[in-house]
Amino acid sequence: MNLAGKHIAILGVGRSGRAAAMLALREGARVSAWDLAGADAFANMPAGVECHPNATEEQGSGVASDLLVISPGIDTFGHYSTAFSRHAGEVIGEVELASRFYQGKIIGITGTNGKTTTTELVARILSHAGFDGTPCGNYGTPFAEVVMQAKPPAAVALELSSFQLETIRSLHPAVAVWLNFAPDHMDRYPSVATYRGAKLRIFENLTAQDTAVVRSGEELPPIAAQIVTFSTTNPQADWFSNGHVIFHNGESWLDLDHETGLRGLHNAENTMAALAACRTLGISADKMREALHGYAPPPHRCELIRTLDGVEYLNDSKATNLHALESALRSQTRPVVLIAGGKDKGLDYSPVVPLLRDKALATVTFGQIARPLAALFSHAVPSESVATLADAVTTARSLAPRGSTVLLSPGTSSFDQFSGYEQRGNSFRDLVHQLR
């Protein structure tokens, strides 16, 4: 792709927007950057970029560009983006832009839940096998930054959100991983089908020479690639696990309990997906076992904070939707006092009620959605609603007997009270360590 002399407009000046701007400058483009935010947001924008803070929809309607690069945090089909798109030759995202200048193999990873853990696992295996394997995309480093390295890696673990997949055109993974699907982001998408359609775009450029790694039982349209399945319920899948040992075609491959710090069926699925994806690149079983030896999940994903008075405190702040909450609950072997709540994203939480009856002693809800969530959960177990996470931790402690688990698994996003799930999880960690 030749960008020399062309006008590239960047909409959104977060880290991915800055990375896209740097790549476009490297390729000889004239680059302008636009954002609703004030001048402070442009502080780290590279020299040579025309900066337009406090950019309005009206201004956008007058911007002519050869290429418009939209950041994933901005609604691709909203009025603001549409205004800037009106006179754009092509509209893509930073991931798509970077892919056009990358010569290595892409393992693309999507799904409603488990993307980040799987991306980390894939990157760890690739690095151990000599591919470098930088984790990038929706997690880790922006893909454009990876492409601009003096020696880009031979393969990347590319986490792809639905927002990023909306703006792909030619992105072509050698391996596309589909972990799972459940309703999410209903505050951005008009329907579940629209959200699902964005996710499915990961498959649209695959050929018969590529591989799709998918969870057994997923209802997917026809896929041109070779399909490899994994499952924790279907022993006939190519990869199967009972939550303790992973089997490939009936042969034991990895003992999760003794060789890794990964626990629960959801992490067994993530690990199988990573092994299956890396296997397609010819990496041996021994190399993969070595890479995963002692691995523990990233923070905020069923992270054990401490045990106090016989009660475990787990931080699963990354659970920003119902499916993630359900996965965390299913993986618990001790009675649970659940802390849930946050922003109201318009999700239906009724499917979790039967699981609460089976797994939970009580629930404590907080944030914008606290009261309706407590009212719903009270059909299964005693439930209390409070205002803040600090109140929730104090209340949960009073309800949790020795031998139980206090599980922060919010089931929704954090933007009513926090800047993101990381800040929410860090706050929970601090509050738990303050308990005496």
CB atoms within 10 A of CB 416: 15
d(CA 401, CA 172): 51
- β-strand partners of 365: 340, 385
Is residue 115 annotated as part of the catalytic site, yes or no?
Answer: yes
State which amino acid sits at residue 301.
R
- β-strand partners of 407: 314, 338
Considering 128, 185, 266, 300, which one is annotated as catalytic?
185
**How many helices (DSSP H) and strands (DSSP E) are in the chain?**
16, 22
- At CA 323, angle to CA 140 and CA 210, rounded to 5? 55
When computed from its CA atoms, the radius of gyration of the chain, rounded to whole angstroms, is: 22
Cβ density class 368-379: b for 16+ within 10 Å, e for less: bbbeebbebbbe
State which amino acid sits at residue 409.
S
Q: What is the DSSP letter of 284?
A: -
| 199 and 181 Cβ atoms separated by less than 8 Å | yes
State which amino acid sits at residue 139.
Y
DSSP H stretches of helix in 369-414: 370-377, 389-399
Considering 113, 138, 205, 321, which one is annotated as catalytic?
138
| 303 and 362 Cβ atoms separated by less than 8 Å | no
| Residue corresponding to tokens 């056009």 | 100
d(CA 181, CA 152): 32
Is residue 7 annotated as part of the catalytic site, yes or no?
Answer: no
Considering 7, 105, 115, 323, which one is annotated as catalytic?
115
How far, in whole angstroms, is CA 333 from its chain's centroid? 25
d(CA 324, CA 327): 5
Q: Which active-site residues does the annotation give?
A: 115, 138, 185
